[in-house]
Amino acid sequence: MTGTEGAEPEFDKLIAFIQAHRGVDFRGYKKASLRRRIIRRMEEVRAESFAAYNALLEAHPQEFAVLLDTVLINVTSFFRDAEAWEALRREIVPRIVERHRAGGQTIRIWSAGCATGQEPYSLAMLFAEAMGGAEALFQTAKIYATDLDEEALQSARHASYTAAEVETVPPGLLERYFDVSGDRYVVRRDLRRCVIFGRHNIIHDAPIGHADLILCRNLLIYLETETQDLVLPRLHYALRDGAFLCLGKAETQLARSRLFEAVDLKHRVFRKVMQDWTRTPGGSLGFVPTASTGATPSRRARLQEAIIDGVDIAYLAVDLDGRLSFANPAAKRMLEVGEADVGRPFQDLSVSYRPAELRGRIEEAHSLGRTVRLEHQEFHRAAGEPMRLSIDVTPIFGQDGRPFSTLLAFTDSTRAYLLGRELQAVQEGLETHIEELQSSNEELETTNEELQSTREELETTNEELQSANEELETMNEELRSINEELEVANEELRRQSEEAGEFRRYADAVLRSMAAGVVVLDRELRVLSWNRWSENAWGLRADEVAGQEFLILDIGLPVLQLRRDLHRVLAAELPQHGTELSALDRRGRQIRIRVRILPLLREGQTPGGLVLFMEDVTEAARHEDYVRQLGRIVGQSLNEVYFLDPDSFRFTLVNRGAEKKLGYSLTQLQQLPITDLMPGVPAEAFRTLVAPLLAEEKQEVVFETVLSATGGRTYPAEICLQYFAEEEPPMLLAIVHDTTERQRLLEAS
pLDDT band at residue 3 using 50, 70 and 90 as cut-offs = very low
Q: Residue 639: is its pLDDT beyond 80?
A: no
Q: Which residue, 338, 325, 334, is CA-closest to 396?
A: 325
Task: Tell me which of 687 and 258 has the higher pLDDT.
Answer: 687
Residues 6+ apart with CB under 8 A from 111: 119, 120, 123, 143, 144, 145, 146, 215
Q: DSSP state, 110?
A: E
- For Cα atoms 530, 532, 537, give the angle at the middle one, nearest 5 degrees: 95
Average pLDDT over residues 507-517: 72
Q: Residue 484: is its pLDDT beyond 60?
A: yes
Q: Residue 315: is its pLDDT beyond 70?
A: yes
pLDDT band at residue 61 using 50, 70 and 90 as cut-offs = confident
Q: Residue 444: is its pLDDT beyond 90?
A: no
- Give Cα separations from 421 to 58, 412, 413, 417, 563 (angstroms): 54, 16, 12, 6, 91
CA atoms within 13 A on the CB side of 715: 20
- Give Cα separations from 599 to 150, 559, 576, 577, 616 (angstroms): 53, 17, 7, 9, 21
Average pLDDT over residues 389-412: 87
Average pLDDT over residues 117-132: 93
The Cα 209–Cα 39 span in angstroms is 37
292-308 per-position pLDDT tens digit? 334 444 666 667 677 77
Q: Residue 398: is its pLDDT beyond 60?
A: yes
Q: Which residue, 549, 555, 566, is CA-closest to 591?
A: 555
Q: Residue 425: is its pLDDT beyond 90?
A: no
To the nearest whole number, what is the mean pLDDT of the chain?
A: 82
585-612 per-position pLDDT tens digit? 888 888 888 899 989 887 667 788 899 9
pLDDT band at residue 194 using 50, 70 and 90 as cut-offs = very high
Task: Tell me which of 188 and 204 has the higher pLDDT.
Answer: 188
Average pLDDT over residues 699-704: 90
The Cα 375–Cα 387 span in angstroms is 12
pTM: 0.40
pLDDT at 392: 92
pLDDT at 174: 92
pLDDT band at residue 264 using 50, 70 and 90 as cut-offs = confident
Region of 557 (left: φ > 0; alpha: ψ -120 to 50; beta: rest) is: beta
pLDDT at 26: 67
Across 27-31, 259-263, 528-532, least confident range: 27-31
pLDDT band at residue 638 using 50, 70 and 90 as cut-offs = low
Average pLDDT over residues 640-644: 87
Could you tell me how many residues make up the chain?
749
The Cα 683–Cα 333 span in angstroms is 174
236-257 per-position pLDDT tens digit? 888 998 899 998 776 665 545 6
pLDDT at 1: 43
For the chain, give the percent of residues with pLDDT over 70.
Answer: 87
DSSP helix/strand/coil, 716: strand
pLDDT at 20: 74
Q: DSSP state, 411?
A: E
pLDDT band at residue 175 using 50, 70 and 90 as cut-offs = very high
Average pLDDT over residues 473-490: 86
647-697 per-position pLDDT tens digit? 889 988 888 888 888 888 888 888 889 888 888 888 898 999 999 998 989
The Cα 164–Cα 466 span in angstroms is 13
CA torsion sign for 620, 724, 739, 702 is: positive
Average pLDDT over residues 329-343: 81
For the chain, give the percent of residues with pLDDT over 90.
Answer: 18
Q: Assess contact for 223 and 438: CB atoms under 8 A.
A: no
Q: Which residue, 36, 44, 48, 49, is CA-closest to 66?
A: 44
pLDDT band at residue 642 using 50, 70 and 90 as cut-offs = confident
pLDDT at 126: 94
pLDDT at 383: 61
Q: Assess contact for 681 and 705: CB atoms under 8 A.
A: yes
Query: According to the 3-state scheme, what is the secondary structure of 47-83?
Result: CCCHHHHHHHHHHCCCHHHHHHHHHCCCCCCCCCCHH
Task: Tell me which of 475 and 222 has the higher pLDDT.
Answer: 475
CA atoms within 13 A on the CB side of 294: 0
The Cα 658–Cα 644 span in angstroms is 13
- Give Cα separations from 660 to 636, 637, 639 (angstroms): 11, 11, 10
Average pLDDT over residues 153-162: 92
Average pLDDT over residues 404-412: 89
Across 53-57, 248-252, 270-274, least confident range: 248-252
pLDDT at 146: 93
